[in-house]
Structure 1
């Protein structure tokens, strides 16, 4: 839109004397003027797009002042046109009729110079405000366009990061002696939750689940770093070589303690994570795990059809330097299940603000104890969706289920 100066005024009157008087006053006040001797001539000039302010007589042949106002208001011009009607009528009905026709102001003849001057100035102020508003809108449009392009770029990058993160997740696992299934639903493009499981030899399965505090990109970056460090047992292998570990029970707590030492952030004291790291002896069903601020693991005792929480709590990794961690030891009988979950499940809220809770999760696990593990994770996901009411989650959701199976042959070779 090209701004047209409000200093240019079109004067419309079929009385030559009145035209000379009004244009003389306007030029004295340094306004540029054009003249039209009737409404039709004025309409032709207005359509050229150079006029922002019109002073028009009421009674004219061909096209009256109110009809000229109506025609202007019914046409979509690039800029607003300020209309002042002149009339010898000094009654309320005429004023209303003129304003209804689209006039902005009304002057009763004879025209007094000071009254004309202040009313023209008022029109100028309104037109100037419109120009300023148009310029602000143009700036906002440019900013919005830039932001839209930036958002598209960020969205594309986040979608790529989300695809990479999903590619890091392990496939569901079925080995002689154990089945592992999971549920993973990030609350944004990328998540702070991550998990993995792997065999270092044919007798043991190692597993972990962690939840980086916060959401979005900062949490996901630390999650990526931790996944790279822990992937396929890299850190556990290094620790076993370095420490020459003889006691299997100490592996989880040594590994978590090492992570706590290495991830003390002096930059952001709120950058920490909760986790569980553990091992499962595929022959005996013995579990050794360390809990670091993560929700308590749940053990489904198949024979009793009962879920028992295990562990206590512990401090999150990276929060305090001088803290110790303990190993929790217990056994899974054939058919038992070990369930690890992030607080995005227990703290998932419904429309009333009520949390899903550990108790509801435990009850659901008990109700589904006869279903295959893959069906259990699906049922939990569906229950959370129904509880939440939509797919707009406030936190990442992660569920990891390990089931010890019957009939493990110690000579079977695990395959991953």
Structure 2
């Protein structure tokens, strides 16, 4: 359907002149309606062509405010024409019958300019409505983010309660750690418990990803390991780490949450000075330092929670009388120089040998954020690319 033609109103005294003016305007197919007063024109009028003599001097201002106006006159010296020019008409034409084509061109141009102005006004109105809507959405988002931040902070406090006290010494073995979540919650987790006078158990986990979903897995890990520890009879310590990893692998697969983890599980025999352990894709590998020399604990294992029916290795290592065992999550690799993984692993090994304490190793990473998961302060000042955890066990010293 064709768009309706714009209606052009002609204001002048009735007579042959007005009729001739209307015919001149209508030659290009424009719709024209002649009237003596502005009030006689319908609301859909797009533009007014007014003769200078037809509008009182005081009425020009209200006319030009209401509609685009083209004034016609028979003389440039017409006083009414000069009055109309002063109040802001669109344009004027002298002797319109002789310049009909120019008049029609002016009318079409004025109508197009008015259409563009109306579109701009509509766009401004829509933009104002959109801005208001965006402000409301932003306010709602800020509210939800604040609630989420409070939930995350509360979750972080709960997660802190699940961690073991540190540093602590059990049967001549001292455990200390430093855990820095990437934001509020961590996918890294660890534990260190004395089973009886002979055995101490510990594990070190790095759940894939970080944030709430990974932190929930650490809660599950804490619950399962406590349950399995209560069920253990203290026999066959060499089997316990690998059996734990196999059982955890089944549990994670059964949950269907799509999370996996790298783990190291160890049992320290205080009588035989032996470490029984198993590991699942631990990276960096655990480093044991004795007499200033660092060695990687041997062994390989699959990640936990990815593949069914995985057998994890049963490994053991004779502990020297005085040792330090370091375990780090892969977040530490983001803080070390080096273009390749091997270069960063060698850098980590050198720092572990030279940094004999946990505080020295932490300080050597030159992190701007100095807090850890034990602090109640807001750690969001610098978001780390990944959770970062360091665990250090040392012994036996003079305890034989």
Same fold per superposition (TM over 0.5): yes
3-state SS of the aligned residue for 1:336? Answer: strand
Output the CA distance in 1 between the equivalents of 2:263 and 2:271: 25
Q: Which residue of 2 aligns with 1:378?
A: 359
Offset of 1:348 from its aligned partner? 3.9
Determine which of 267, 275, 279 is the counterpart of 2:267. 279
3-state SS of the aligned residue for 1:218? Answer: helix
Deviations 1:299-333 (A, max 9, x none): 001x2x11000123201112112121112211222
Output the CA distance in 1 between the equivalents of 2:138 and 2:122: 24
Q: Any stretches of 5+ residues in structure 1 without a counterpart?
A: 1-19, 43-50, 66-83, 90-107, 370-375, 410-416
1:248 to 2:229 alignment: no
**Are residues 387 and 132 of structure 1, via their aligned partners in 2, closer, same or farther at CA, if it must alter by over 3 Å?**
closer
Determine which of 385, 390, 393 is the counterpart of 1:394. 385
Instruction: Report if aligned partners of 1:211, 1:342 keep a CA contact under 8 Å in 2.
Output: yes
1:160 to 2:154 alignment: yes
Q: Which residue of 2 aligns with 1:5?
A: none
Determine which of 230, 238, 242 is the counterpart of 1:237. 230
Output the CA distance in 1 between the equivalents of 2:191 and 2:124: 61
Q: Which residue of 2 aligns with 1:181?
A: 176
Offset of 1:257 from its aligned partner? 1.7
Offset of 1:119 from its aligned partner? 2.3
**Are residues 380 and 32 of structure 1, via their aligned partners in 2, closer, same or farther at CA, if it must alter by over 3 Å?**
farther
Instruction: Report if aligned partners of 1:26, 1:32 keep a CA contact under 8 Å in 2.
Output: no
1:29 to 2:17 alignment: no
Determine which of 300, 304, 309 is the counterpart of 2:296. 309
Determine which of 116, 137, 144 is the counterpart of 1:143. 137
Q: Which residue of 2 aligns with 1:404?
A: 395
Instruction: Report if aligned partners of 1:25, 1:113 keep a CA contact under 8 Å in 2.
Output: no
Output the CA distance in 1 between the equivalents of 2:200 and 2:346: 28
Offset of 1:248 from its aligned partner? 2.0
Q: Which residue of 1 aligns with 2:13?
A: none
**Are residues 32 and 204 of structure 1, via their aligned partners in 2, closer, same or farther at CA, if it must alter by over 3 Å?**
farther
Output the CA distance in 2 between the equivalents of 1:380 and 1:21: 95
Q: How many equivalent pairs are there?
A: 330
3-state SS of the aligned residue for 1:249? Answer: coil
Determine which of 213, 216, 229 is the counterpart of 1:218. 213
Q: Which residue of 2 aligns with 1:192?
A: 187
**Are residues 110 and 405 of structure 1, via their aligned partners in 2, closer, same or farther at CA, if it must alter by over 3 Å?**
same
Runs of 4+ in 1 over 6 A off after TM superposition: 51-61, 108-111
Output the CA distance in 1 between the equivalents of 2:272 and 2:37: 107
Q: Which residue of 1 aligns with 2:5?
A: none
**Are residues 141 and 228 of structure 1, via their aligned partners in 2, closer, same or farther at CA, if it must alter by over 3 Å?**
same
TM-score w.r.t. length of structure 2 = 0.70
Output the CA distance in 2 between the equivalents of 1:223 and 1:145: 33
CA RMSD across the alignment: 3.9
Output the CA distance in 2 between the equivalents of 1:335 and 1:402: 11
Instruction: Report if aligned partners of 1:300, 1:308 keep a CA contact under 8 Å in 2.
Output: yes
TM-score w.r.t. length of structure 1 = 0.68
